[in-house]
Amino acid sequence: MRALHRLFAVFATGILLHSATALALAPATVELVQAPAWLERDGRSQPLTPGMELRNGDLVRTGPGARAYLMLAEGSRVKLGEAARFNLHNRSLHPEQSFRGALDIVAGAFRFTTGKLKKSVPRDLAIRVGTATIGIRGTDIWGKTDRDGDLVALIEGRIEITRAGQTTEMSQAMSYYDAPQGKDATVKSLDLETFARLVRQTDIVAGDGAATMRGTWKIVAGAADDQASALKIYDDARNAGFPARIRMTAAADAGRYEVLVGAYATAAEAEVAAARLKAATELKPRVAR
């Protein structure tokens, strides 16, 4: 497990990949977003958007009631719950062929699931959850870190967890590693009721109001007859964590603009997201197709 700690030490030194990585496939792509959520890159923050490609060093941050799904190039999926802070570290020239890097869960809950058809893909992957570092062996895990401590649940597969110089191997499905703040860690059995409660903190279900890459419904955050007013609506939505864009309407000669948000699979999903946007701003959004 020493290699895992070296891996994070290397990233801490600020060593960057060769510029040739710019030609490689993105190490991860945003799949679904239940706003509000943001991407922080090079000191700048922008709303998280389905289809957005993530780079080495990116920080994904989710707000209250939010969720986000990230698809790694090698086929694994990372699900983030609300109030999460997630750092992606990639050192692969071709991450779709052999992922080498680290996932750092700074705060909040996450779920990591290896693609069923991608379990044999070579990977040198470490996941850090608070004070615990996890070595992955093709698996499905759930974890969370907060002020009370760290928790890692093994749903399927095998993992090794290192914390405070102690290494624990886990291979029993439906068990969890409980590490309260300032106390020794213990491994316990995970019952179905607790499992369902944990999963609901990270999984997106129908009716949650998540945006997709190919939905046909959208939110009209507002409309304006001049650019300045349209930009005010645009800024309000984006500051609230919703990826707004401006579109000129059919009455473009009159200078009319619409500020749109998202792509949603159904009108019901868009309505839920619109209600969340309305609660976070002074905007009066409506749903359209």
219-278 pLDDT tens trace: 999 999 999 999 999 999 999 999 999 998 876 555 589 999 999 999 999 999 999 999
Q: How would residue 286 be classed by pLDDT, with cut points 50, 70 and 90?
A: very high
Q: Phi and psi for 16 in degrees, rounded to 5?
A: -105, 160
Q: Is 84 exposed, middle or buried (0-12, 13-18, 19+ CB in 10 A)?
A: buried
The pLDDT value recorded for residue 137 is 74
Lowest mean pLDDT segment, chosen from 2-11, 97-106, 181-190: 2-11
Q: Which two tokens stand for residue 109?
A: 């809950």
Q: How would residue 127 be classed by pLDDT, with cut points 50, 70 and 90?
A: very high
Question: Would you say the CATH fold of 217-288 matches that of 2-200?
Answer: no
In the predicted model, what is the mean pLDDT of residues 149-160?
95
In this structure, the strands spanning 217-224 and 159-163 are: unpaired
Tell which wins on pLDDT, 115 or 13.
115
Domain spans of the chain?
A: 2-200, 217-288
Q: Which two tokens stand for residue 229?
A: 């007013």
**Dihedral, CA atoms, 252, 258, 263, 269, nearest 10 degrees?**
-140
Q: Return d(Cα 31, Cα 40) in angstroms, integer.
A: 17
Q: Return d(Cα 48, Cα 61) in angstroms, integer.
A: 8
Q: Return d(Cα 230, Cα 250) in angstroms, integer.
A: 15
Nearest CA to 274 out of 229, 207, 220, 235 is that of 220
Other CB atoms within a 10 A radius of the CB of residue 189 amount to 9
The pLDDT value recorded for residue 121 is 61
In the predicted model, what is the mean pLDDT of residues 179-208?
96
pLDDT at residue 1 above 50?
no
pLDDT at residue 118 above 80?
no
Q: Return d(Cα 133, Cα 104) in angstroms, integer.
A: 9
Fold of 217-288: Alpha-Beta Plaits (3.30.70)
Share of the chain above pLDDT 90, in %: 74
Nearest CA to 130 out of 77, 53, 182, 70 is that of 182
Q: Residues 12-71: pLDDT tens digits?
A: 333 333 333 344 579 999 999 999 999 999 999 999 999 999 999 999 999 999 999 999
The pLDDT value recorded for residue 18 is 36
The pLDDT value recorded for residue 24 is 56
Nearest CA to 112 out of 69, 166, 53 is that of 69
Mean pLDDT of all residues in the chain?
87
Q: Which two tokens stand for residue 90?
A: 């990639």
Cα–Cα distance list, 163 to 85, 154, 229, 262 (Å):
20, 16, 52, 41
Q: Return d(Cα 9, Cα 37) in angstroms, integer.
A: 28
CATH class of 2-200: mainly beta
The pLDDT value recorded for residue 7 is 33
Share of the chain above pLDDT 70, in %: 84
